[in-house]
């Protein structure tokens, strides 16, 4: 047993010497830097943790810089900046470090610190178009729109083809309510080729607000072609036609949209009904998945089609879906029963109406019912 223990201790000692030799042979800081630059974040973290910080000539400046970059990439902005601050204290004077620091502050919504870091970055910040964007937005968040505007002007002077500057100015003008002026930047922005569905929506909103519906419609037609998977664009295009009371055009847009996005079936059916096409409205109504919503809309279609028998046949379903709390539906049922000659059922529903305007209509209908009951030949 004694010999075995001595052997194990000797083996552990030998392994310790081997590990020390490996550590002396491997530069974990250099290896971590390589892994980090190649995108192997977790491996870089593991390797940097093995670095022997007790070495007399250990490069703390580089080590803390790498740890700052590592935690930035891992999504820990506060910790990242602690390491960057320490690297600067240790002599790090590369201006690019301040770009990381600015991004970390941006992530934490520390806008004053973003501006300070970008100022410290000097020429390094001036070489990157996106840095103008976050600096301008930081000033804007701090309530200094004038300086924000000047920063964007400086960005445009240096990077005239970068579309984000124009879009940012555009959104600032929208917030201020300068819709006409915003269009100038919209045109410049859209002349570039890098713009999103959100940008299209913003510009269409500005055109709507200034009453330029035709231009807004043309823009949104282009938008839905370029971004066919964005439901908000289709909805905006339909809304632009609704703004002009062009309900059939709006219905056609929503009808087409409902093929890909079934949630638009209800709106499409409503618009067809408003446009005077109850048959197409009925076809769209059949696509609606929400049964309560479906039945509620179907009442309007039945009224438009003068299909009163179908309407009263839905009475039990309307109770089941708790839709009879709506005075409009109660009145519609009362009216339908009146039209098919079931006056007792009609009066039963009409007397439940509480809404002031509908109550006035119900009172008039009561008079018609009384007339029909007393003088059937004169009942129209």
DSSP-derived letter for residue 326 is S
How far CA 74 is from CA of 43, 60, 110, in Å, comes to: 12, 21, 19
Return the closest-CA partner of residue 74 out of 100, 112, 113. Answer: 100
Q: Are 29 and 66 in contact (CB under 8 A)?
A: yes
From its phi and psi, is residue 322 left (phi > 0), alpha (psi between -120 and 50) or beta? left
pLDDT tens, residue by residue, 30-62:
777 787 777 778 887 887 778 877 788 888 888
Distance, C-alpha 18 to centroid of its chain: 56
Residue with tokens 């129209």: 380
State percent of the chain over pLDDT 70. 89
Per-domain residue ranges for the chain?
161-244, 310-380
Task: Give dist(CA 137, CA 208) in Å, integer.
Answer: 26
Other C-beta atoms lying within 10 Å of the C-beta of residue 335: 19
CATH topology of domain 161-244: 1.25.40
| Per-residue pLDDT band at 15 (split at 50, 70, 90) | very low
What pLDDT band is residue 2 in, cutting at 50, 70 and 90? very low
CA distance 33 to 47: 9
258-289 pLDDT, tens digit per residue, is 999 999 999 999 999 999 999 999 999 999 98
Note whether 151 and 139 are within 8 A (CB).
yes
- pLDDT higher than 50, residue 11: no
Most confident of 190-204, 237-251, 361-375: 237-251
Q: Would you call 126 exposed, middle or buried from its count of C-beta atoms within 10 A (0-12, 13-18, 19+)?
A: middle
Measured N-to-C along each axis, helices 265-274 and 247-260 cross at an angle, to the nearest 10 degrees, of 160
Full-model pTM = 0.56
Q: Show the tokens assigned to 269.
A: 């059916």
For residue 19, which phi and psi values (nearest 5 degrees)? -65, -40
Q: Which two tokens stand for residue 347?
A: 């009066």
Nearest to 156 by CA among 148, 147, 164: 164
**pLDDT tens readout for residues 144-201:** 999 999 999 999 999 988 878 887 888 888 778 777 777 767 666 666 655 678 888 8
pLDDT(378) > 80: no
Stated as kind and residue range, the H or E segment containing 137 is helix 129-141
Cα angle 120-121-123, degrees, rounded to a multiple of 5: 120
Give the span between the Cα atoms of 226 and 229, in whole angstroms.
9
Q: Give the integer Cα–Cα distance in Å for 86 and 82.
A: 6
């Amino acid at each position: 047993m004694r010999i075995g223990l001595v052997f194990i201790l000797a083996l552990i000692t030998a392994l310790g010497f081997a590990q020390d030799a490996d550590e002396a042979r491997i530069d974990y800081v250099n290896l971590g830097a390589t892994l980090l630059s190649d995108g192997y974040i977790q491996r870089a973290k593991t390797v940097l943790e093995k670095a022997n910080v007790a070495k007399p000539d250990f490069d703390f400046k580089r080590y803390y810089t790498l740890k700052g970059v590592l935690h930035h990439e891992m999504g820990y902005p506060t910790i990242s900046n602690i390491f960057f601050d320490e690297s600067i204290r240790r002599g790090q004077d590369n201006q690019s470090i301040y770009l990381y620091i600015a991004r970390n502050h941006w992530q934490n919504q520390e806008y004053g610190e973003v501006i300070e870091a970008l100022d410290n970055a000097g020429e390094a910040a001036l070489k990157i178009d996106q840095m103008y964007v976050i600096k301008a937005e930081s000033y804007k968040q701090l309530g200094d729109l004038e300086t924000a505007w000047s920063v964007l002007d400086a960005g445009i002077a240096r990077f005239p083809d970068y579309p984000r500057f124009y879009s940012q100015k555009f959104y600032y003008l929208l917030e201020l309510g300068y819709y006409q002026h915003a269009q100038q930047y919209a045109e410049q922005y859209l002349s570039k080729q890098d713009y999103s569905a959100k940008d299209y929506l913003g510009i269409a909103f500005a055109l709507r607000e200034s009453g330029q519906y035709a231009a807004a419609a043309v823009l949104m037609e282009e938008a839905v072609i370029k971004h066919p998977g964005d439901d908000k664009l289709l909805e905006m295009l339909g809304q632009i036609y609704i703004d002009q009371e062009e309900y059939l055009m709006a219905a056609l847009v929503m009808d087409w949209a409902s093929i890909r996005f079934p949630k638009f079936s209800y709106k499409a059916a409503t618009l067809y009904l408003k446009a005077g096409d109850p048959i197409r409205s009925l076809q769209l109504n059949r696509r609606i998945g929400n049964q309560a919503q479906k039945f509620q809309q179907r009442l309007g279609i039945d009224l438009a089609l003068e299909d009163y028998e179908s309407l009263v046949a839905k009475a039990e379903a309307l109770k089941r879906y708790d839709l009879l709390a709506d005075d409009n539906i109660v009145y519609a049922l009362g009216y339908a029963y009146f039209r098919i000659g079931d006056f007792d059922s009609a009066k039963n529903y009409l007397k439940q109406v509480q809404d002031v305007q509908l109550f006035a209509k119900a009172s008039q209908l009561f008079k018609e019912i009384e007339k029909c009951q007393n003088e059937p030949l004169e009942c129209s």
